Amino acid sequence: MSYTTRLLHGLALGLALTLPALAQVKAGQPFPALAGHALEGALPDVTGQVVLVDFWATWCAPCKASFPAYSELQREFAGRGFILLAVSIDKTAAPYDEFLQRFKPSFPTVRDGAQQLIAEVRAPAMPTSYLLDRKGVVRSVHSGFHGETTLKALREEITRLLEEKP
């Protein structure tokens, strides 16, 4: 076996051993507990709720488009056992605070300035939303925000989860 072939086999093996460590939270898996991740802001009580956890950042253009739409979703399903929690991955507070002043979301937001939760979840893009059932299990993952396409899918999924017996 040539040196190049051995090198490529070694690199492939190293990559194969590393991939599980890079795995992200997927549908069917429990979502990590929110407490204990040094999140800044008031965490809502999500016990027994259908939850949409949305990871976003102030520098993310699709995130800016998602906030008005997600405020609409929160208003639409509020009081029925649904809550949307937006988790900013901004490291500093100033851009986060300015973003919230500008968009005035109707849902709770927290900042993962230490980036502990995002490191555990490993969201593939900004924004990425995780829809959780009442037991905290991820039922779907939405990478990016695609306007009405994303909203239509989320409305259907949220409605279905709210109709499930707890």
- The reply to whether 17 falls in a domain is no
Residue from 55, 61, 39 nearest 110 by CA: 39
Give per-10-residue mean pLDDT for the chain (166 aa).
42 37 78 91 94 97 95 94 97 96 95 94 94 97 95 97 89
Instruction: Note the pTM of the prediction, 2 decimals.
Output: 0.85
- Number of neighbouring beta carbons within 10 Å of residue 16: 9
Domain holding 34, by residue range, is: 25-163
- The reply to whether 5 falls in a domain is no
Return the SS3 of 102. helix
- The reply to whether 3 falls in a domain is no
- The reply to whether 9 falls in a domain is no
Count of structural domains within the chain: 1
Burial code (b: 16+ CB inside 10 Å, e: under 16) for 27-45 equals eeeebbebeebebebeeee
Cβ 55 vs Cβ 133: under 8 Å: no
> What CATH number does the domain containing 100 carry?
3.40.30.10
The H-or-E segment that residue 97 falls in is: helix 93-103
- The reply to whether 20 falls in a domain is no
